[in-house]
Amino acid sequence: MSELLDPFFLLGQLRSGLTTAMFLFLIASGLSLIFGVLKIINFAHGSLYMIGAYIAWNMTLVLGRTSLGFLGAVVVASLSVAVLGGVVERLLLRYMYKRDELYQLLFTYALVLIFSDACKYLWGTQPHSVSRPPILSGSIDFYGVRFPHYDLFIILLGPVIAFGFWVLLNRTRYGRIIRAAALDREMLGALGANVSSLYTGMFALAAFLAGLSGALVSPIKSVVPGMDVEIIIEAFIVVVIGGLGSLWGTLLGSLIYGLTLAFGILIFPRFSIFAAFVIMAVVLIVRPWGLMGRPVR
Amino acid sequence: MKAKARRLSRRIPWTLVLFLIAALIPVLGSRYYTFLATDIIIFAVFATSLNLLLGVTGLVPFGHAAYFGIGAYVCAIFMKDLGLPFLLAWLLGGFGGALFAALFGFFCVRLTSVYFSMLTMAFAQIVWAICFKWNDVTGGEQGYPNVPMPSVAVFDWIPWLSRLRIDHKFFYLTLILAALTIAVMRRIVDSPFGRMLTTIRDNAERAQFIGTNVRLFQLIAFSLAGGFAALAGGLFGIFNRGVFPDFCYWPKSAEVLIMTILGGIHHFWGPSVGAAILILLNQYIVSYTEFWPFALGLILLVLLFALPGGVVGAIAGLVGRAASSSEGAPDAGVLGAKQDLFWLYRCKWREFRRGQELDHRRDRPQRRRQIYAVQSDHRTPASRPRARAV
């Protein structure tokens, strides 16, 4: 227990907690966006993330291990996942909007199954790893606590994306249309907005975020089959804690989750994942719409 | 002629016929067929228990595997560590599942639609995390292996049975227990209590209006479903010769949901048919390719886009259409709550016209097993709210 009093050790835990939190925010923000606008719980979001990671790995093989090569891999991965998301929305998902939630859930689960096997078929089952880009491979030493540049980059990227989202949603014309679509789809259509292409765009944007986070996670975690199922549950917990459809709630939820995981390990070494589920259950019991969400329906 | 044939087909106890046919499977002597049949029977019980919530009560649980896992662990641990006889351990497993379902359900039934599904999943994940990490009791990640096969003394008294292999014996044990469990579930669905659950599914507001404690009914249904799932889990733990945390993990919940919907949620036997189809397809496809999840995803897409009522729903629709076209009258049994509402309005209108009270039940076509919101009001006539002229 003496570790609990060591400020440098705690700082190290804080660093890892924040990194986890910001990664989860990148993924969960897309999930939350889709739920907020399309009213669909997208289990396949984790699969898009996994596909992003695989494409990024494949592209670094093509483009080489330079910083520019990594940047190119990230861009290609996120854009191609965005295109994939748009295609899926156009061809299949749009026929599910009017169905029961149960059928929507099963539909996205079908996508999970199909994508996971497609990845196994294309890229095999052995784990792959991507090396960090040279420009971000160093680390800062802060009184004996190591801060890798890459972690700092991720910790800074999270708030940047959150701010970008906020500007998009609250300060632009598209943002107004998106918020209107979240409130009343038919009315928006009646006022002359092209709702169906807006939906495709939103799904592609969420897929873009999933692909981006998949590409960015590849230097930290190994790229393996099964990372989709693992991440979607975590992202789901985050979104439920923060509030489905709420951007700031998602940020708060990912901070709570990341820090619980990092510090929970100190208090109950074996049950930190358990603590996250308990928080999720308690939030659902007390405020089903999440800490920062608004009660809908 | 056709009506006569149908009446005759109703006389035949199809369930008993099915049971007897199933009982002949070990006679084929193939261990593989017995294995498959045992698997199907256990999952039929599991899926039917899910349908108590999904099709009958209209709740969508996404963590039903938790109770399956609890039943499996409780039964296995009581048998192996405490040395209890199988039947006792099995029943205690079912009881444990029901108890946990009641505990979790208490919170779950307070939420609606998506939030209900998510909370059931959260609880299931908590159960999974405990099973995964609590090494001393559940064996943690490694699972709980070498669950003993139950030895049933009764079987040894029957000369033909006592000579069978242990897995054939276990098949008979499973068949008998599963048949009893399914019979109990059938009885529950057909009871006034089950009718009230259906009313809640169709129109929870109206159920509340006639004085039903909707949440209590849902809670009882939830814990019953959990208990039956746990009974299925207890059998599966033995069948699988080990219990693993995967039994509670969310893809298992998704799997049983797919079975139930594949079969059709609006028929009592739908989930069982779904379980049989999915397990057989699995065996068939796995023998050709390792990409079973891919195939399952495609099956699911076909199901969602082409067969929204499930396999049994589609067959019943075809049969119903053929029957109605030959008799020239719509089948009253397939009409739903909307028709019922229409009926109520018509009664009220007649009352208004005649200026007298009219029992809205008197001149309805009565059929066996019809599911109507109004009919499931099972209280005594004196306390029943009467339809009044508006």
Segment B161-186, tens digit of pLDDT: 767 777 788 888 899 899 999 999 99
Q: Rounded mean pLDDT of chain A?
A: 87
- For the stretch B42-54, pLDDT in tens is 999 999 999 999 9
Q: What is the helix (H) or strand (E) element at residue A186, kind and residue range?
A: helix A185-190
Q: What is the Cα–Cα distance from A31 to A254, expressed in whole angstroms? A: 12
Distance CA(B144)–CA(B171), nearest Å, equals: 22
CB contact under 8 A, B304 and A111: no
Q: Do A103 and B113 touch (CB under 8 A)?
A: no
E-strand stretches of A39-166: 139-142, 145-148
A31-51 pLDDT tens trace: 998 888 888 889 999 999 999
Kindly provide the ipTM of the predicted complex, given to two decimals: 0.86
Q: What would the mean pLDDT of B32-39 be, rounded to a whole number?
A: 89
Dist CA A31 CA A239 (whole Å)? 8
The better pLDDT of the pair A112, A5 is held by A112
pLDDT (0 to 100) of residue B65: 94
Q: Residues B123-173: pLDDT tens digits?
A: 999 999 888 888 778 877 788 887 878 777 667 677 777 677 777 888 888
Which helix (H) or strand (E) segment holds residue B243: the answer is strand B242-243
The confidence score (pLDDT) of residue B99 equals 95
The SS3 assignment for B329 reads coil
* Interchain CB contact of A297 with B (< 8 Å): yes
The more confident residue out of B31 and B261 is B261
| Beta strand extents in A42-123 (DSSP E only) | none
What residues of chain A lie within 8 A of the CB of B109, using their CB?
none
Strands B242-243 and B144-145: antiparallel
- Contact yes or no for B68/B100 (Cβ under 8 A): no
CA distance A87 to A89: 5
Q: Which residues of B touch A114 (CB under 8 A)?
A: 293-294, 297-298, 301
Q: Name the more confident of A136 and A214.
A: A214
Position with higher pLDDT, B73 vs B164: B73
Q: Which residues of A touch B261 (CB under 8 A)?
A: 102, 106
Question: Cβ of B119 and A288 within 8 Å?
Answer: yes
Chain A nearest CA to B255, separation (Å): 10
Cα(A185)–Cα(B129) distance, integer angstroms: 39
DSSP 8-state symbol, B52? I
User: With bands split at pLDDT 50, 70 and 90, how would you rate the model's confidence at B376?
Assistant: very low
pLDDT of residue A16: 86
Q: What is the dihedral of CA B122, B123, B129, B131, to 10 degrees?
A: -150
| For residue B380, pLDDT beyond 70 | no
pLDDT for the residue A47: 94
pLDDT above 80: residue A27: yes
Encoded amino acid at B127, one letter: V
- From the list A55, A192, A166, A66, the residue with the least C-alpha distance to A119 is A55
Interchain pair A103, B304: CB under 8 A: yes
Residue A280, pLDDT > 50, answer yes
The span from the first CA to the last CA of chain A, in angstroms, equals: 47
Find residue A148's DSSP bridge partners.
A139
With a CB cutoff of 8 Å and minimum separation 6, the contacts of B78 are: B84, B88, B89, B92, B93
Task: Kindly state the DSSP code that residue B242 receives in the 8-state scheme.
Answer: E
Token pair 């039929």 in the structure block, residue: B44
Q: Are B232 and B71 in contact (CB under 8 A)?
A: yes
- Best interface-test mutation with B: which of A88, A92, A114, A261 has the largest number of B CBs within 10 A? A114
On the question of pLDDT at B71 being above 90, the answer is: yes
Q: Is the dihedral of CA B133, B137, B138, B143 positive or negative?
A: positive
pLDDT of res. B375: 46
Contact, B72 vs B243, CB < 8 A?
Answer: yes
**Count of helix runs (H) and strand runs (E) in chain A:** 11, 2
Asked if B213 and B200 touch (Cβ cutoff 8 Å), the reply is no
Query: How high is the pLDDT of residue B24?
Result: 79
List the structure tokens of A173. Answer: 């014309």
* CA of A90 vs chain B CAs: smallest distance (Å): 15
- Quick one: closest CA in A to B133, which residue? A270
Taking residues B246-255, what's their average pLDDT? 88
Quick check: B381 pLDDT over 50? no
Checking if the pLDDT of B285 tops 60, the result is yes
Nearest C-alpha neighbor of A273 from the set B249, B111, B73, B63: B249
Answer whether A286 touches B (CB < 8 Å).
Answer: no
The full length of chain A comes to 297
Angstrom CA distances, B143 to A95, A222, B351, B360, stand at 41, 26, 66, 59
If you average pLDDT over residues B233-261, what whole number do you get?
89
A260 beta partners = none
Query: For residue B110, with 0-12 CB atoms within 10 Å meaning exposed, 13-18 middle and 19 or more buried, which class applies?
Result: middle
CA distance A145 to chain B (A): 30
Decide if A274 and B118 are in contact by the 8 Å CB cutoff.
no
A109 close contact with B: CB closer than 8 A: yes
Q: What's the CA angle centered on A171, arms A169 and A174, to 5 degrees? A: 55
Q: What is the pLDDT of residues B190-211, one digit of tens each?
A: 888 999 999 888 888 888 888 8
- pTM for the full model? 0.83
Q: Quote the tokens at residue B54.
A: 């999904």
CB B248 within 8 A of CB B124: yes
pLDDT band with cut points at 50, 70 and 90 for residue B358: very low
**Contact of A245 with A56, CB cutoff 8 Å:** no
Residue predicted with more confidence, A32 or B377: A32
| Banded model confidence at residue B346, pLDDT cuts 50, 70, 90 | low
Q: Tell whether the model's pLDDT for residue B85 goes beyond 50.
A: yes
Alpha helices in chain B (DSSP H): 2-11, 14-23, 31-51, 65-80, 86-108, 113-133, 135-138, 153-157, 159-162, 166-190, 192-202, 204-209, 214-239, 250-263, 270-286, 292-306, 310-327, 337-354
Q: Determine the Cα–Cα distance for residues B47 and B26; give it in Å rounded to an integer.
A: 24
Q: Which H or E run includes B145?
A: strand B144-145
Per-residue pLDDT of A204-252, as tens digits, reads 999 999 999 999 998 888 898 888 888 998 898 899 898 888 888 899 9
Residues facing A145 on adjacent strands: A142
Q: 3-state DSSP helix/strand/coil percent for chain A, to nearest 5?
A: 75, 5, 20
Q: Which of B294, B298, B307 to mutate to test the interface with A (most CBs of A within 10 A)?
A: B294
Q: How far, in whole angstroms, is CA A54 from its chain's centroid?
A: 16
